[in-house]
Structure 1
Amino acid sequence: MLGEVLVESDQRPTEPPVFARTGIRVLGSFESRQAPEKLAELIVDRVKQAAPTGSLVLQAFTPDSPAGNRLADEADALLETVRTRLPKDRLLEETWRAREAGAMLVELCVAPGAVMVGSVPAREALSLSPGGRQRMRRPGDAPSRAAMKLEEALINMPFEPGRGEVCVDLGAAPGGWTQRLVARGARVIAVDTAKLLPELAEHQRVEHVHMSAFDYTPEEPADWLFCDMAWRPLEVAQLLAKWGRRGWATHLVANIKLPMKDKNPILLRVRHILTEDGGWQSLTIRQLYHDRDEVTVTAHRAGTL
Structure 2
Amino acid sequence: MNTLLLHCRPGFEGEVCAEISEQAALIGVAGYAKGKPASAYAEFVCTEPGGGERLMRELRFERLIFPRQWARGEFVALPESDRIGVLLQHLAELPVFGSLWLEVFDTNDGKELSNFCKKFEGPLRKALTKAGRLVEDAGKPRLLLTFRSGREVFVGMAETGNQALWPMGIPRLKFPREAPSRSTLKLEEAWHQFIPREQWETRLSGDMTGVDLGASPGGWTYQLVRRGMLVTAVDNGPMAESLMDTGLVTHLMVDGFVWKPRQPVDWMVCDIVEKPARNAALLDDWIGGGHCREAVVNLKLPMKQRYAEVKRLLQRLEDGFAERRIKVSIACKQLYHDREEVTCHLRRLDR
TM over 0.5: yes
Instruction: Report the counterpart of residue 178 of structure 1 in structure 2.
Output: 221
Residue 200, structure 1, aligned to residue 235, structure 2: no
CA distance in 2 between counterparts of 1:58 and 1:176 reads: 35
Deviation at 1:230, TM superposition (A): 0.8
In the TM superposition, 1:81-92 aligns within 5 A as 81-84=123-126, 85-86=128-129, 90-91=135-136
The worse-fitting range, judged by mean Cα deviation, of 143-152 and 15-24 is 15-24
Instruction: Report the counterpart of residue 27 of structure 2 in structure 1.
Output: none
Q: How far does the alpha carbon of each residue in 1:46-80 deviate from its partner, in whole angstroms, 9 at most, with x for none?
A: 6xx4356xxx3421111122333222122223332
Instruction: Report the counterpart of residue 95 of structure 2 in structure 1.
Output: 50
CA distance in 2 between counterparts of 1:107 and 1:89 reads: 12
Q: How far does the alpha carbon of each residue in 1:228-261 deviate from its partner, in whole angstroms, 9 at most, with x for none?
A: 1111110110011111112222222111112423
Deviation at 1:104, TM superposition (A): 4.0
CA distance in 2 between counterparts of 1:57 and 1:280 reads: 37
Task: Give the secondary-structure state (helix, strand or coil) at the position aligned to 2:143.
Answer: strand
Where does structure 1 lack aligned partners over 5 or more consecutive residues?
Answer: 93-100
CA distance in 1 between counterparts of 2:338 and 2:230 reads: 25
Deviation at 1:30, TM superposition (A): 1.9
Is the alpha carbon distance of 1:106 and 1:254 closer, same or farther for their aligned partners in structure 2, counting shifts above 3 Å?
farther
Instruction: Report the counterpart of residue 84 of structure 2 in structure 1.
Output: 37
- Tell me how many residue pairs correspond in the alignment: 289
In the TM superposition, 1:155-304 aligns within 5 A as 155-157=192-194, 158-159=196-197, 160=200, 161-278=204-321, 281-303=328-350
Task: Give the secondary-structure state (helix, strand or coil) at the position aligned to 1:122.
Answer: coil
Is the alpha carbon distance of 1:173 and 1:71 closer, same or farther for their aligned partners in structure 2, counting shifts above 3 Å?
same
What's the Cα RMSD here?
2.8
Is the alpha carbon distance of 1:67 and 1:171 closer, same or farther for their aligned partners in structure 2, counting shifts above 3 Å?
same
CA distance in 2 between counterparts of 1:280 and 1:131 reads: 33
Residue 6, structure 1, aligned to residue 41, structure 2: yes
Does the 8 Å CA contact 1:135/1:289 hold for their aligned counterparts?
A: no
Is the alpha carbon distance of 1:42 and 1:247 closer, same or farther for their aligned partners in structure 2, counting shifts above 3 Å?
farther
Is the alpha carbon distance of 1:57 and 1:212 closer, same or farther for their aligned partners in structure 2, counting shifts above 3 Å?
farther
CA distance in 2 between counterparts of 1:277 and 1:217 reads: 19
Deviation at 1:226, TM superposition (A): 1.0
Instruction: Report the counterpart of residue 108 of structure 2 in structure 1.
Output: 66
Deviation at 1:40, TM superposition (A): 4.4
CA distance in 2 between counterparts of 1:88 and 1:189 reads: 54
Deviation at 1:132, TM superposition (A): 1.1
Instruction: Report the counterpart of residue 114 of structure 1 in structure 2.
Output: 152
Where does structure 2 lack aligned partners over 5 or more consecutive residues?
Answer: 1-33
Deviation at 1:221, TM superposition (A): 2.1
Does the 8 Å CA contact 1:244/1:301 hold for their aligned counterparts?
A: yes
Task: Give the secondary-structure state (helix, strand or coil) at the position aligned to 2:161.
Answer: helix
Task: Give the secondary-structure state (helix, strand or coil) at the position aligned to 1:134.
Answer: coil
Deviation at 1:295, TM superposition (A): 1.0
Instruction: Report the counterpart of residue 141 of structure 1 in structure 2.
Output: 178
The amino acid across from 1:29 in the alignment is F
| Larger helix proportion of the pair | 2
TM-score normalised by length of structure 2? 0.73
